[in-house]
A and B are shown apart, each in its own frame.
Chain A
């Protein structure tokens, strides 16, 4: 039997979840593809990583489903992600899309920094990565990362 009080709480909870979704919604801004800052790196201040969780690992993107890449071997660790965001260089959205190397293999999760900021991260096998913090997207490339997880001898 459906209780009206239960319906009330379900509606309230849905409202809360919707509120969370709205807070995390990404709205393209001047640093996105049609913006005047598309080719400029978004200002970003590094902070040590406090905590990392891995949600997806060794995944293959929809965009790369036709490629022969075996993504199951691309398994990052929390240590890899801490190293990534300590060493990676911030790049523009334009450079991320057009200049740095793209891979179908990715991992992602959530992250918390020492400065209190928290959000989502994503990293690809060929060293491209991003952070989604406070509704803003930051793009990175880490040629200085030393983890062996990015090395893929013949590039396929």
Chain B
């Protein structure tokens, strides 16, 4: 069980604090799920630098935690705050073949991305996947390779290191216990949104 202070920061020797205010998007009232990502970068330093607000990118995307290659865990957003890490939600009922006629009607003619995402956001969990509003995001440092491949779609994310794997398992289990999140509600990013299918594909929990 994690100790969390009044600001939503985890107090544990395994977690370093690198809170990035530019990632915060308001209060998060409840947590229903955990989404596991990979950064596409080679180091935590590069990713943390990208969490700063800039002229070109005033509202950066990012998650609550970041796991470096050596397994070091950084907390980058309070667990009481929403972070922009999911993107538009895929339809859970379509993926799980459980759509009611009403759900199918609402999805009819809708395009992947914003249109389907907006239909999904109107639903309540667990009819929808956990979203930015009710999930904790964990980023794992890892590149999409080979880097000299200009077509990003031909790049595949590298395998997580054994140190990252150990840290991820510890963090997911502690968050699950502390926030009362079911393990079945822990997803790789491409399950819940339209992302490169190899993202976090080697991560287990």
A151 to B111, CA, bound (A): 6
Measured CB to CB, the nearest residue on chain B to A106 is B153
A61 to B155, CA, bound (A): 10
Given contacts A33-B143, A130-B151, contact A154 B91 (CB under 8 A): yes
Main secondary structure of the interface of B (DSSP, over half): loop
Q: Is B180 an interface residue (CB 8 A)?
A: no
A27, A101, A122, A153: the one contacting B151 at CB < 8 Å is: A122
Given contacts A27-B148, A130-B151, contact A63 B197 (CB under 8 A): yes
Does B150 lie within 8 Å of A97, measured CB to CB?
A: no
Bitwise, A26-66 to B at CB < 8 A (1) or not (0) is: 11100011101111110000000000000000000111111
Measured CB to CB, the nearest residue on chain B to A97 is B40
A26 to B143, CA, bound (A): 17
A137 to B48, CA, bound (A): 24
A99 to B50, CA, bound (A): 14
Q: Is A70 an interface residue (CB 8 A)?
A: no
Q: Which residues of chain A come closer than 8 Å to B90, judged between CB atoms?
A: 155-156
Q: Is B10 an interface residue (CB 8 A)?
A: no
Taking residues whose C-beta sits less than 8 angstroms from the other chain, chain B's interface range is 35 or more
Given contacts A34-B42, A153-B108, A153-B110, contact A102 B148 (CB under 8 A): no
Taking residues whose C-beta sits less than 8 angstroms from the other chain, chain A's interface range is 35 or more
B57, B95, B144: the one contacting A92 at CB < 8 Å is: B57
A25, A33, A40, A155: the one contacting B40 at CB < 8 Å is: A33
Q: Is B61 an interface residue (CB 8 A)?
A: yes
Q: Which of B49, B110, B112, B194 has the most CB of A within 10 A?
A: B112
Cross-chain pair count, CB within 8 angstroms: 130
Q: Is B156 an interface residue (CB 8 A)?
A: yes
Does A63 lie within 8 Å of B46, measured CB to CB?
A: no
Residues of B139-183 at the interface with A, using a CB-CB cut-off of 8 Å, are 143-144, 147-156
Q: Is B74 an interface residue (CB 8 A)?
A: no
Does A153 lie within 8 Å of B109, measured CB to CB?
A: yes
Does B194 lie within 8 Å of A132, measured CB to CB?
A: no
Q: Which residues of chain B come closer than 8 Å to A66, judged between CB atoms?
A: 197
Does A101 lie within 8 Å of B88, measured CB to CB?
A: yes
- Measured CB to CB, the closest approach of chain B to A32, in angstroms, equals 7
Measured CB to CB, the nearest residue on chain B to A104 is B197
Does B56 lie within 8 Å of A41, measured CB to CB?
A: yes
Does A155 lie within 8 Å of B91, measured CB to CB?
A: yes
Bitwise, B48-67 to A at CB < 8 A (1) or not (0) is: 01100010110011000000
Residues of A60-109 at the interface with B, using a CB-CB cut-off of 8 Å, are 61-67, 92-94, 96-104, 106, 108
Chain B contacts to A: CB under 8 angstroms: 40-43, 46, 49-50, 54, 56-57, 60-61, 87-88, 90-91, 94-95, 107-114, 116, 143-144, 147-156, 190, 193-198
Chain A contacts to B: CB under 8 angstroms: 25-28, 32-34, 36-41, 61-67, 92-94, 96-104, 106, 108, 120, 122, 124, 126-128, 130, 132, 137, 139, 143, 150-156
Given contacts A63-B156, A101-B112, A137-B150, 12 further A-B contacts (CB under 8 A): A26-B149, A26-B150, A33-B42, A62-B156, A63-B198, A66-B197, A92-B57, A94-B61, A98-B87, A100-B113, A102-B194, A130-B150
Listed by A's residue number, 16 A-B pairs whose Cβ atoms lie within 8 Å are: A28-B148, A33-B40, A33-B42, A34-B41, A38-B46, A39-B56, A61-B154, A63-B154, A67-B197, A98-B195, A101-B87, A103-B194, A122-B151, A143-B114, A153-B109, A155-B194
